Structure 1
């Protein structure tokens, strides 16, 4: 890319991609008071449902941003997180999995909601921002590294006019086929193609069928001659918008030719079980299922966020969720470095922390893909015991609070305290205040409106035990000496059953993203020195 002769415009952060991850990053930077530019080649937010679930950690973050209820209002009804195996939606039901039980370990339970609704609600928050501008119908052309950042070229799709921008940091939020990642020279590791599928997004009123409101997805095993015998139909609003997913090949499209619109409508009618169903085709896409994680999430001033950093099979629903949490992890670190509160070394922790989570989610999603194949084999066998076993096992697909909340950062911007890492169970979440994990949720009031999670937003937070007043005084001293604002909070009680192991006189230092950075379960001779040392280690 040739740097233009005229001086480039300047921004702190340039974000390539205005999907849910790029928009989430923009919203976060706006909350911190940091300027950014988001460029998105599409003319507006997506009109395709794509992902269809926001899991508990993502909903907790949306709660913090004040958009949880707006997103929940656009999702499916509670307890719809299950799959139903059918010969057709109007026909015989073979079996179904069960909804995940809510054990009260989060203030914001998961929501089955489509990506287009999520993007619209995030964009609604930042479209009037004075700090973050979203430029739709704008493509990212390329970038050059300079000593203090990158110089990027962007181009209007409508006018062809190019602009050059200088940014301290460039964030690749441009999805699985990220051109920014390729331009940065970062390779993906893992199989690039597990299968080839067609998504068909369509409209038809199925509200007459109770089943249409009850489940997130339907595994169709059709006996109708001449149509694909197996398809998934995903529920986007419980009424009239549906997404069919049909495998069309292993490494390439193996059909003799693509289906015509008329043929696609007949396939949908057969899978629904209504021969004269009025169907409107909305849009379609052909895509490759992958299981890949980038070799590195950072190269100099360029960071990979979301699908640009990791591609999962959709079985498990961790794509969008991992991406929003990538942004939540990275944003506060960028802010602290940009404001001079932390050294550039803090940014190295992004790859150290998020890449193992990306790999874990890739492995979990791949396991779910294999689980679906086993269910297909069981249903085709017709053996009820065979079917029952795999349908019961299917609960492990969506009963995933342990995968969503149980991950910990074992290295990065955390200080281990010597307690061993026990790993996590995908189906069971065990709260803990151990360094690296999300601090446990506890309700702080009788109406159950205020959670401990509400403490963690823009500052580091000192959380002291119920008899840990000395830690609050230490926090005031450290804040005064460093000039760094610390949020000081005290627990009303410290029950190990709630995941609080610090004890009555202990304390933890929690990062702005809600993850514990450091823990000390007693009051030392000089708590201010210990706290200041922990903060210095994490930030520098």
Structure 2
């Protein structure tokens, strides 16, 4: 193991995404994961349009689409609440906005198991030059030295300029740093099983993709893994201090949820492991940065799984941080010393408020679907995933995104068949109106320093970006609007951008 510029700790969805984004920007990156292999559990069963936009930048969207599962699309997804699967069902409003999202993105929500996405991310990270080491645990990180323990208990020390902690809700890195969390806190541990059981008799011809159930106890669910009603994920609230149930007890739990005594086969998730526990709660770290260490994903924010917001938010964390680390490491536009530190500080300033907002939305959906109590206002998914605005606590309705500084630049189809979303990723982009030639001289030196490229929009596209024919818009590598000018004499910029 040789030294690296950035060490990523944690080989789940967020950590692997970070490794891909860093390597794509040319950063010398190494990822370590204490488990010996990826977790074989579907968890988040789809990728939202915003995640697909980010994966599209690094060449992964076609692979994800090719690996999509033959399962319910967002518009046909059926969720119910019931005592058992065999009992009477109450259908739940899923706040479905799949058709609404299609107008705002060139990407569509894609049904695909998270473990499949993680395989694709691992392979892409390696293709791009990232070094991935499973069975390797971070023991300590101090003064730029990482103490790693690999297979066979072999200890190694490597140097790294920065460390990115994607090591989960119980993040040992966050605990070592003494970073506390804010919010409601931990709710319960979720005991989860992958099962094969023919539950069609319990369904009685009904279609169910997700069932929130009262038995064998609170917070129980059955999530279908196929269209035939034969493969499922079972989950229920569990006492973290209780011994791991044996196979006989696991079968009894599943049968109680189904409401009928059917044969049940428990499938492995990690080599040698059939039962897993996940922490369920709602909290956000008090800071996402401590010197050269950054928190992303569940290490930074824990969200109820309802809605699939945790994974999507983690991918956006990784994307936001990766271009900033790359820019500082390359010294773009003089980003060294205090200037580089100021840019890296914006990671916490931008992403932590988004995490608080998204956590509240995930919590509201969890309360609604389990019928616990009256939830807070539920905002449509497109606005949650696309409408956040850096520098403001108030999101922008996805339909109203029109180039406001601090927001995601809107999707507009281009004459060549691409989307404006496809212009972003590797560097800054200066979008000008059709009569924006004056900006060329004004921005020549700045554009060179920022490694920016210029692109002239047609009148309608310029209008969708909130600029007049003589206006311009500067978009960051992560697709966020950094600045907007109505004419060379009038402009606005966003906090921290």
The correspondence for 1:64, drawn from 47, 51, 57, is 57
Indicate the residue corresponding to 1:317 in structure 2: 308
Matched residue of 2:185: which SS? coil
Indicate the residue corresponding to 2:478 in structure 1: 513
Question: How far did 1:215 drift?
Answer: 5.3
Alignment of 1:33-432 (within 5 A): 33-72=26-65, 73-75=67-69, 76-78=71-73, 79-86=75-82, 88-89=84-85, 92-98=88-94, 99-103=96-100, 104-129=103-128, 131-145=129-143, 150-156=144-150, 158-204=151-197, 216-221=209-214, 227-228=216-217, 231-238=220-227, 240-248=230-238, 259-273=245-259, 275-282=261-268, 283-341=274-332, 342=335, 343-344=339-340, 345-373=342-370, 375=371, 396=378, 399-410=380-391, 423-424=394-395, 429-432=399-402
The correspondence for 1:437, drawn from 407, 417, 442, is 407
Distance in 1 (alpha carbons) for counterparts of 2:77 and 2:261: 28
Question: How far did 1:520 drift?
Answer: 0.6
Residues 295-334 of structure 1: CA distance to partner in whole angstroms, max 9, x if unpaired? 1111111111111111112223211111110010001110
Distance in 1 (alpha carbons) for counterparts of 2:255 and 2:440: 65
Matched residue of 2:16: which SS? helix
Give TM-score, length-normalised by structure 2: 0.87
Question: How far did 1:166 drift?
Answer: 0.8
Question: How far did 1:444 drift?
Answer: 1.1
Question: How far did 1:86 drift?
Answer: 4.2
Distance in 2 (alpha carbons) for counterparts of 1:243 and 1:286: 13
Question: How far did 1:111 drift?
Answer: 2.6
Give TM-score, length-normalised by structure 1: 0.80
The correspondence for 2:420, drawn from 452, 456, 477, is 452
Question: How far did 1:347 drift?
Answer: 0.5
Matched residue of 1:488: which SS? strand
Matched residue of 2:132: which SS? strand
Distance in 2 (alpha carbons) for counterparts of 1:356 and 1:376: 26
Residues 181-223 of structure 1: CA distance to partner in whole angstroms, max 9, x if unpaired? 122222222333223332222233568999999654212345x
Question: How far did 1:142 drift?
Answer: 0.4
Question: How far did 1:112 drift?
Answer: 3.7
Are residues 13 and 259 of structure 1, via their aligned partners in 2, closer, same or farther at CA, if it must alter by over 3 Å?
closer
Alignment of 1:458-477 (within 5 A): 458-477=426-445
Matched residue of 2:429: which SS? strand
Matched residue of 1:290: which SS? strand
Indicate the residue corresponding to 2:271 in structure 1: none
Are residues 518 and 174 of structure 1, via their aligned partners in 2, closer, same or farther at CA, if it must alter by over 3 Å?
same
Give RMSD over aligned pairs: 3.2
Distance in 2 (alpha carbons) for counterparts of 1:20 and 1:212: 35
Are residues 229 and 327 of structure 1, via their aligned partners in 2, closer, same or farther at CA, if it must alter by over 3 Å?
closer
Distance in 1 (alpha carbons) for counterparts of 2:204 and 2:420: 38
**Consecutive unaligned residues in structure 2, runs of 5 or more:** 269-273
Distance in 2 (alpha carbons) for counterparts of 1:310 and 1:476: 40
Residues 359-411 of structure 1: CA distance to partner in whole angstroms, max 9, x if unpaired? 111111222222234x368xxxxxxxxxxxx9xx99947x411111100111x
Indicate the residue corresponding to 1:380 in structure 2: none
Matched residue of 1:201: which SS? strand
**Consecutive unaligned residues in structure 1, runs of 5 or more:** 1-7, 378-389, 411-420
Distance in 1 (alpha carbons) for counterparts of 2:409 and 2:9: 31
Asked if structure 2 preserves the Cα contact closer than 8 Å seen for 1:510 and 1:518, the reply is: yes
Distance in 1 (alpha carbons) for counterparts of 2:396 and 2:200: 37
Matched residue of 1:355: which SS? helix
Question: How far did 1:508 drift?
Answer: 0.8
Are residues 304 and 238 of structure 1, via their aligned partners in 2, closer, same or farther at CA, if it must alter by over 3 Å?
farther
Structure number with greater Rg is 1
Are residues 215 and 27 of structure 1, via their aligned partners in 2, closer, same or farther at CA, if it must alter by over 3 Å?
farther
Question: How far did 1:241 drift?
Answer: 3.6
Are residues 431 and 87 of structure 1, via their aligned partners in 2, closer, same or farther at CA, if it must alter by over 3 Å?
same
Matched residue of 2:119: which SS? helix
Distance in 2 (alpha carbons) for counterparts of 1:161 and 1:140: 12
